[in-house]
Amino acid sequence: MNKESLTPFVATHPGELIKDELKERKMTQKQLAAESGIKASVLSETINGKRSVSLSVAVAIEKVLGVPADVLMNMQTQYDLDTANIASRSNENETVEVIIPVRDRNLLKEIARKFGWACML
């Protein structure tokens, strides 16, 4: 199996797990912030995927929700890897159209040599 086949189409941020836990427990972000000591804005950004789960946030969430901090940290690492692999995959598949006059065949040959291919219409 290659790395690309293991990369999901969309990366899942660990904030999704926290959001699901809150919903299941009928608990608000405000309540979690108060019980955990996490600043409300930090918690909100983390849950909404705008901020990475830090070790201190993971430990605080573990104390309140019982979700192991190492699970959250591993999810964050996987999210970061998936995000990088998705970006890499997107860049590899990028197609650039260049119109070269027929009279400049040397330029076309140079592009084919440098990039490994060229499509002539």
Write the pLDDT tens digit of every residue in 2-47: 555 577 888 899 999 999 999 999 999 999 999 999 999 999 999 9
Write the pLDDT tens digit of every residue in 72-86: 999 999 999 999 988
Euclidean distance between CA atoms 92 and 94, whole angstroms: 6
Note the pLDDT of residue 110: 72
Euclidean distance between CA atoms 65 and 48, whole angstroms: 18
In the predicted structure, residue 91 carries a pLDDT above the cut 90? no
Can you tell me whether residue 25 is helix, strand or coil? coil
Euclidean distance between CA atoms 20 and 18, whole angstroms: 5
**Which amino acid appears at position 105 of this protein?**
R
Mean local confidence (pLDDT), 45-64: 97
Domain boundaries, the chain: 3-115
Euclidean distance between CA atoms 7 and 2, whole angstroms: 9
Tokens of 29: 């972000």
Entry pTM: 0.70
Please name the CATH architecture into which domain 3-115 falls: Orthogonal Bundle (1.10)
